[in-house]
Amino acid sequence: MNKFIRITFSMGYRDSVREIMAENDILSLNQLFFKEIAMIQQKLENNCLPKHFDNLYEGLKRTTTMVTRSHAKYNPSFCRAIYTRQNITHTGPKIWNSIPKGVKFDENDDICSLSSVKSFKSKIHTFCIENVSFYANNES
């Protein structure tokens, strides 16, 4: 990807592509990963995924109605190994919980409803460019 951008913008082979990507709204690999997982989570919330995804988070749903600091709808699966932290049952809830309500929901007439897929896609793209780190951090 970086090589393609360097060729397209006539850059040297050691020049950084970070500024060019930011100016042209091109997502890095880490930002693209975040966006795609968020899109899957949003489709899961809107019941737009095939039925076999319904059981994916069955054991991770909140069972209590008590409001706590971690009052998210889904809790990430417990895992010790770095390899299993890449599983969607771990990364999906973490990414979905980190997205602010203004991106997840459309607020019309004091009713919060989930954003449509098309509006969510543009909101999450902007959110990824502004808030998600360019490079992946290994702390999960």
Q: What is residue 105's predicted lDDT score, i.e. its pLDDT? A: 78
d(CA 112, CA 130) in angstroms, rounded, equals 24
| Number of residues assigned to the chain | 140
- Say if residues 104 and 120 touch (Cβ distance below 8 Å): yes
Hey, what are 85's tokens?
Answer: 């932290």
pLDDT averaged per 10 residues, the chain (length 140): 89 88 89 92 83 71 61 69 79 87 70 70 91 71
Q: What is residue 140's predicted lDDT score, i.e. its pLDDT? A: 43
Q: What is residue 36's predicted lDDT score, i.e. its pLDDT? A: 93
Q: What is residue 32's predicted lDDT score, i.e. its pLDDT? A: 93
d(CA 57, CA 118) in angstroms, rounded, equals 24
Structural domain boundaries in the chain: 29-131
What 3-state class would DSSP assign to 20? helix
Measured over all CA atoms, what is the biggest interatomic distance in the chain, rounded to whole angstroms? 57
Q: What is residue 58's predicted lDDT score, i.e. its pLDDT? A: 67
What 3-state class would DSSP assign to 108? strand
Angle (nearest 5°) at CA 137 between 121 and 28: 40
Q: What is residue 64's predicted lDDT score, i.e. its pLDDT? A: 59
